[in-house]
Amino acid sequence: MAAVDAIKRKRLLLGLAGLALACCLALAFLYYFGLREEPSSRDETPRVQAVMHGVTLLHGEKGSRLWRLQAPRAEVGRDRELVTLSQPQIEYSFEGNKTLVASSEKGKYNRSNRTAVFWSGVSGKYGQVRFTAGRMVYTAEKGTVRLLRGVHVTRGSAFIRSAEASFDLDTQRVVFSRDAEVELYADQY
């Protein structure tokens, strides 16, 4: 008889353990899938306020356009000053129909201080000059374009490699960092 009670006791304990495990699993399921608050029901604002497609931003002074910034997709964040860009392209216009054009995979534009940052495969051109870099920063207030992280500039058969370069938009002068390496190739006949 004692053996029968021991078996019943083991079955009872196993049944209670199984029931407790089932309750824990049910509570975990409800917590993770049913009882969690949805982000829209919280008081905080979502990370992205607006998503736009086919965006063009223009800036000009004294009746002429200085630059145009285009992107196939843009997102405006919580502060509404920062615009995140996918595949941005900026075109800066100079007198005499000269333009500086640059593009990359990703970028951000700060509307309050008119700065644009491009990264992940920056490439561009200015007349016959072609350039690539890991990052580009356009600052309207300073009138500069800074190329950073592995700058490579070519014109014809000549090229310059440098860690960074700064292009002054007013004077159209480029200054490379001290590590600049220049290679000039003579035309061969």
Give me the number of domains the chain comprises: 2
Are residues 153 and 121 part of one domain? Answer: yes
Expressed as residue numbers, the domain containing 112 is 48-183
Q: Are 155 and 128 contacting, i.e. CB atoms less than 8 angstroms apart?
A: yes
Question: Taken in order 127, 129, 134, 137, is the CA torsion positive or negative?
Answer: negative
Are residues 58 and 26 part of one domain? Answer: no
Task: Name 19's bridge partners.
Answer: none
- Kindly state the percentage of the chain with pLDDT values over 70: 81
- Kindly state the percentage of the chain with pLDDT values over 90: 49
pTM for the model stands at: 0.69
> Across the chain, what does the average pLDDT equal?
83
pLDDT single digits (tens) 140-173: 889 999 999 999 999 999 999 999 999 999 999 9
pLDDT single digits (tens) 79-109: 788 999 999 999 998 887 889 999 999 999 9
Domain membership of residue 171 (yes or no) is yes
Task: Name 58's bridge partners.
Answer: 68
Residue 155 pLDDT: 92
Q: What is the CATH number of the domain that holds 123?
A: 2.60.450.10
3-state secondary structure of 5: helix
